[in-house]
Amino acid sequence: QVKLLQSGAALVKPGASVKMSCKASGYTFTDYWVSWVKQSHGKSLEWIGEIYPNSGATNFNEKFKGKATLTVDKSTSTAYMELSRLTSEDSAIYYCTRNNYYFDYWGQGVMVTVSS
């Protein structure tokens, strides 16, 4: 069965960066785009961007350009997102999700807390 297993919660200082992972299993990793979605506490969902593992092609929400970097490791079927220059506004849960014209499978989420 399809699974997306994300890395654990992170506590990071303002101005620092954080890199999180999303390991896919149960399907051909290179056949589907992987999207990343932000959910701030108690709020709605924001699409950050997506990456196509086969080619490394990416598309971003303009709001997150310069903030998020998306990469993949095809050998381990793992997608990564790095967030840079963190502020309190980046404290949120971040989900990876398989994008099939709809988000059909979701990881369990990574809670990122930005605090000194």
From residue 14 to residue 53, the character string flagging contacts with another protein as x (rule: CB under 8 A) and all else as - is ---------------------x-------xxxxx------
Please pick, from the candidates 8, 41, 55, 62, the single residue that binds another protein as defined by CB under 8 A. Answer: 62
**For residue 94, what are the CA distances in angstroms to 5, 31, 100?**
12, 22, 19
Asked whether 36 and 68 are in contact (CB, 8 A), the reply is: yes
**For residue 75, what are the CA distances in angstroms to 54, 59, 63, 67, 83?**
11, 22, 30, 26, 23
> Does 59 sit near another protein (CB under 8 A)?
yes
> Does 89 sit near another protein (CB under 8 A)?
no
**8: which 2 tokens?**
């654990």
Query: How many residues of this chain bind another protein (CB under 8 A)?
Result: 21
**Residues forming the site for another protein (CB under 8 A):** 35, 43-47, 59-63, 95, 101-109
